Amino acid sequence: MAHLLRSLLEQAHEAVALALRDGDLAIDATVGNGHDTIHLANCVGASGHVIGCDVQPIAIELARQRLASHGLDDRVTLFESNHDQMNKKWLEKLTPRPLRVVMFNLGYLPGGDHAIRTTKRTTVDALEASYALLDPPGLISVVTYVGHRGAEAERLAVLEWGKALERQWPGVRADRPRILESRFHHADHETGSLILIERPAASVSP
């Protein structure tokens, strides 16, 4: 039976689709098999661009093939890199497009080596870089999982990072970051979540 409530990944795709316009720039910080990269490439249109990175050469190659089979390879630049290396240089050739979305799908490559997975330290470093690079109004989407070692600690680290970010904008201010966690509840086991971090328009660095 089909569910009425969307999966976390579907909710993530809907959120980034709402944030993106034709001509925008988006980053896929965990390319994996390239499904999210394809979604982002469709959202930014032919005049937009997507930057994708993954630490695994096999992921970059699989994504490259998948993008080519969808005719989307022209609007995507892939880097074999750790996302904690994300910086302005990645975007330089692609300006003046505004960076509106950075997407993270944490964990390991499905069908790949489960030992190669995201970690809380590099994820938080990459989130920090992402927030600074976003052109407001912009959105960071993070899908977290359970079931592998460190997954719950990584989810909590993302939330802690979000809270610390919010504290930099004390009081009620329109430019304060907004953080939303969407999570299914199961009585008998832990669940992953979708964490959305909005950098509102007119945001000013503290």
Ligand X SMILES: C[S@@+](CC[C@H](N)C(=O)[O-])C[C@H]1O[C@@H](n2cnc3c(N)ncnc32)[C@H](O)[C@@H]1O
* Residue 97 CB neighbour total at 10 angstroms: 16
What's the full length of the chain, in residues?
A: 206
**Residue 148 interacts with ligand X (CB under 6 A): yes or no:** no
Alpha helices in 93-196 (DSSP H): 120-133, 151-167
Question: What residue has token string 């750790």?
Answer: 82
**Residue 130 interacts with ligand X (CB under 6 A): yes or no:** no
CA angle at 123 for the pair 122 and 126, rounded to the nearest 5°: 85
| Minimum CB–partner distance for residue 59 and ligand X (Å) | 4
**Residue 59 interacts with ligand X (CB under 6 A): yes or no:** yes
**Residue 42 interacts with ligand X (CB under 6 A): yes or no:** no
**Residue 33 interacts with ligand X (CB under 6 A): yes or no:** yes
Between 35 and 97, CB nearer to ligand X: 35
Site for ligand X in 90-129 (CB under 6 A): 105, 107-109, 116-118, 122
Contact window for ligand X (CB under 6 A) among 50-58, 165-173, 177-185, 194-202? 50-58
Contact window for ligand X (CB under 6 A) among 14-22, 25-33, 162-170, 192-200? 25-33
**Residue 157: φ, ψ to 5°:** -65, -35
Contact window for ligand X (CB under 6 A) among 10-18, 48-56, 133-141, 170-178? 48-56
**Residue 113: φ, ψ to 5°:** -75, 110
Between 35 and 183, CB nearer to ligand X: 35
**Residue 17 interacts with ligand X (CB under 6 A): yes or no:** no
Between 63 and 197, CB nearer to ligand X: 63
Contact window for ligand X (CB under 6 A) among 16-24, 26-34, 129-137, 185-193? 26-34
Q: Number of residues interacting with ligand X: please give it, by CB under 6 A.
A: 22
Beta carbons within 8 Å of 30's beta carbon, 6+ residues apart:
36, 53, 54, 83, 103, 104, 105, 106, 118
Alpha-carbon distance 75 to 107, whole Å? 26
- DSSP symbol at 83: G
Q: Tell which residue, 59, 132, 73, 142, has the closest CA to residue 105.
A: 142
Q: Can you give the binding site for ligand X, defined by CB under 6 A?
A: 30-36, 53-56, 59, 82-83, 105, 107-109, 116-118, 122
